[in-house]
Chain A
Amino acid sequence: MKLLVINKTLTYLLFAILLAAPWIIPVIGDPFWMSVLSEILIWSCFAASINFLFGYVGLLSFGQALYFGFGMYGVALGLTVLGLGFWGSFLFGVSASGLMALITGALAVRLTWHYFAIITVVFSLIFYFIALTIKPITGGDDGINFAAPEILKLGDLTLTIADPTTQYFFILAVVTLLFFVFKRLVSSPLGKSLMAVRDNETRAALIGLNVYRLKLTAFVISGIFAGISGALFALFGRYASVSYMFYHVSGEGVVWAILGGAGTLAGPFIGTALFILIREVISSYWQHYALIVGAIAILVVIYAPKGIVGMWNQILLKKSEGDKK
């Protein structure tokens, strides 16, 4: 039980730091790091979608970039073509990704893990190529840019995402909300049943769980998380590009999720933060950051498959058992 207390305290500490960041960061460094922090938060949702599906349900998807893309283009096209406002396009993007996840998931989760992993890549490639083909709409690899809509207008008070601080707090609010949803999900009957499926699919069917339905539910939830990530990305970069739908993006997300710790709550954030920070720090000296990503990917799966948070939990657990004796 000590583990829970320590982790809880650390989480609150992290949250406090994140809240205070807009005031701390300009003091200790370049304000540029604020946008890096925003980026980390946005991509942690992406890593969370992969983490949820792999860590808690046992399904390794290499195609989450597809739902990211639907969220991203849902917002982009919602703003530019459909004339939806901020909230309308956000909702549109997230719904589009959820719907896509439902359709593709209905087919994909019937397969065993080899073929499941392959088909998730295939589906994402299909839509990547389709998106490339309809370049006039999607802008292809170059992408499309658009203007920043308002978030809110209350009398004289207008919140726009053009303001970096407002932007940051909006993202933080969404990500925090997602975190709590994730947390609740994991300790709910649905969550426990999903973990049972992960642990032992045959047994799960034997005790009466509808494994197909459970996997599909998890897949859709995961798709929605990825879609939210994409929607946030589009809103805050005011940019959408087909290149973010390519399987490399999915693959990097997998690496972040595993490095952080599959099957843990804090894993996605930690893994994403580490990678993005490494990239930002290293790429000022050395362009070959991809080597580090590749090397870490290999080293992590061989030597630390539980990831950082996973190992941390293990250490805490061992300590508390040692203390008992």
Chain B
Amino acid sequence: MSAAPYLQINNVTKAFGGLLAVNDVSLSFKPGGINAIIGPNGAGKTTLFNLITGFIQSDSGSIKFEGEDITSLKPFEISRIGIKRTLQIKSIFPSMTTYDNLWVTANAHTKNLHPFADVSKFTGIDDRVSAIIDKLNLERIAHLQAGSLSYGDVAVLEIGMAMIAEPKLILFDEPVCGMSPAETEKVVEKIIELSKEVHVVIIEHDMKVVFKMADHITVMAFGKVFAAGTPEEISRNAGVKEIYFGSDELELS
């Protein structure tokens, strides 16, 4: 099996004023399992995601996805290539139903949106939406307003929205942030299942979750890559424990 990296980040730097949020970072994400990025607050993890998805432009360096340079693409172009992302703060379309949220996402890549036909006429899209609803057991909330859903349900809807567009890579930014243990377990399960079909990179603080899900961990601190390796290697790395020293973010099981 080819170990060519699907996502290649080369010497990327981003400064905000005087602060080097991302400092000459180079990373290779290879297929075969979930890649996790961990690190204390302010390490540059979310900034990295923002750079990959085009929300901010790097000052220098390049980002390649499946060999193609994506460094200067805009967010909606990145999305159309097949890179999807969830945000730290759960973010869906609150006034629309779960079904419509998924429908809009599935249809988003259409170049010319039809202005007159009723949505129910688009059976192709409808099939895909129904398939995702089945897969993620969303039937009971399918016609409820997304804004009224519980936090856990919103997270699953977000995963559904990430999956429905037939992505190649999904970036999860703290997917279980603020969830109950039951909700966390459900979401972790779904992501692990998902990773069998698409590439997955997650940012996460909850170490139990990281060690459960990740096949490869990258540790960032102060805008730089501090360490990278398998979960066993990282858990044995004394330096990693030190950069978390004093914070209660580290809970190794």
By a beta-carbon cutoff of 8 Å, the part of chain A in contact with chain B is 181, 184-185, 187-193, 195-196, 198-200, 202-211, 214
Question: Contact: B116 with A203, CB < 8 Å?
Answer: no
Please give me the residue from chain A that is nearest to B122 by CB atom.
A189
Task: Write out the residue numbers on chain A whose beta carbons fall within 8 Å of the beta carbon of B53.
Answer: 206
Q: 8 Å CB contacts to A: which residues of B16-45?
A: none
Q: Is the interface of B mostly helix, strand, loop or mixed?
A: loop
Chain A residues with Cβ under 8 A from B178's Cβ? none
CB of B149 to closest CB in A, whole Å:
14
Q: Are B104 and A193 in contact (CB under 8 A)?
A: yes
Q: Do B113 and A190 have beta carbons less than 8 Å apart?
A: yes
Q: Closest A-chain residue to B147, C-beta based?
A: A199
Tell me which residues across on chain B come within 8 A of A195, comparing CB atoms. Answer: 93, 95-96, 104
Please give, as numbers and ranges, the residues of chain A lying within 8 Å of B79 by CB-CB distance. Answer: 205-208
A192 B96 Cβ-Cβ under 8 A = yes
Chain B count of residues within 8 A CB distance of the other chain: 34
- Those of B70-85 within 8 Å (CB) of chain A: 74-76, 79-80, 84-85
Shortest B145–chain A CB gap in Å is 10
- State in angstroms the CA–CA spacing of A163 and B23 once bound together: 76
Given contacts A189-B113, A202-B91, A206-B75, contact A196 B104 (CB under 8 A): yes
Who on chain A is nearest to B118 by CB? A187
CA distance A191 to B113 in the complex (A): 9
What chain B residues lie within 8 Å of A205 (beta carbons)?
Answer: 74-76, 79
Judge whether B239 is part of the interface by a CB distance below 8 angstroms: no
B110 on the A face (CB < 8 A): yes
Interface status of B92 (Cβ within 8 A of chain A): yes
Shortest CB-to-CB span from A310 to chain B, Å, is 12
Q: A190-B115, A208-B79 are in contact. List 19 more A-B contacts (CB 8 A).
A: A184-B118, A188-B119, A189-B110, A189-B115, A192-B96, A192-B107, A196-B96, A198-B95, A199-B95, A200-B93, A200-B94, A202-B91, A204-B108, A205-B74, A206-B79, A208-B108, A208-B109, A208-B165, A211-B76
Across the A-B interface, the 10 shortest Cβ-Cβ residue pairs: A208-B79, A199-B93, A208-B108, A190-B113, A190-B115, A207-B108, A205-B75, A189-B113, A207-B105, A184-B116
CA distance A273 to B27 in the complex (A): 63
Interface residue? B3 (CB, 8 A)? no
Instruction: Say yes or no: A210 contacts B76, CB within 8 Å.
Output: yes
Q: What residues of chain A lie closer than 8 Å to B122, measured between beta carbons?
A: 189
Shortest CB-to-CB span from B129 to chain A, Å, is 12
29 intermolecular pairs with C-beta atoms under 8 Å apart: A184-B115, A188-B113, A188-B115, A188-B117, A188-B119, A189-B107, A189-B110, A189-B113, A189-B119, A190-B115, A191-B115, A192-B107, A193-B104, A193-B108, A195-B104, A196-B96, A196-B104, A199-B95, A199-B96, A200-B91, A202-B91, A203-B87, A203-B91, A203-B92, A205-B79, A207-B104, A207-B108, A208-B79, A209-B108
Within 8 A of A (CB), among B161-175: 161, 165
- The smallest beta-carbon distance between B123 and chain A, in angstroms, is 13
Given contacts A188-B118, A211-B76, contact A206 B85 (CB under 8 A): yes
**CB-CB < 8 A to B119: which residues of A?**
187-189, 192
Query: With A192-B100, A200-B94, A203-B93 known to touch, is A208 a contact of B116 (CB < 8 Å)?
Result: no
B87, B92, B107, B161 interface centre (most CB from chain A within 10 Å): B107
Task: Enumerate chain B interface residues (CB-CB to A < 8 A).
Answer: 53, 74-76, 79-80, 84-85, 87, 91-96, 100-101, 103-105, 107-110, 113-119, 122, 161, 165
Shortest CB distance B52–A (Å):
12
CB B215 to nearest CB in A, in angstroms, measures 26
* B161 to A, closest residue via Cβ: A207
How far does the Cβ of A220 sit from chain B's closest Cβ, in whole Å?
11
Residue of B nearest to A317 (CB): B145
Q: Which of B84, B110, B115, B161 has the most CB of A within 10 A?
A: B115
CB <8 Å contact, A208 and B76: yes
Closest A residue to B109 by beta carbon equals A208
Enumerate chain A residues within 8 angstroms of B118, measured Cβ to Cβ.
184, 187-188
The answer to whether B114 and A190 have CB atoms under 8 Å apart is yes
Q: What is the CA–CA distance of A205 and B103 in the complex, to the nearest angstrom?
A: 15
Cα–Cα distance between A189 and B125 once the two chains are bound (Å): 11
CA A188 to CA B116, docked complex, whole Å: 5
How far is it, in angstroms, between the C-alpha of A190 and the C-alpha of B76 when the chains are bound? 16
Q: Which of A190, A203, A204 has the most CB of B within 10 A?
A: A203
A184 proximity list for chain B (CB < 8 A): 115-118
Do the beta carbons of A209 and B117 come within 8 Å of each other?
A: no
Instruction: Give the most central of A184, A193, A199: most B CB within 10 Å.
Output: A199
Closest-CB distance, B171 to chain A (whole angstroms): 10
How far apart are the CA atoms of A208 and B87 in the complex, in Å?
15
The residue on A at minimum CB distance from B53 is A206
CB distance from B147 to the nearest CB of A (A): 8
Please determine whether B80 and A208 come into contact, CB atoms closer than 8 angstroms: yes
The CA-CA distance from A156 to B76 in the complex, in Å, is 59
A188 to B104, CA, bound (A): 10
- Neighbouring A residues of B108 by C-beta, 8 Å: 193, 204, 207-209
**Shortest CB–CB separation between residue B119 and chain A, in angstroms?**
6
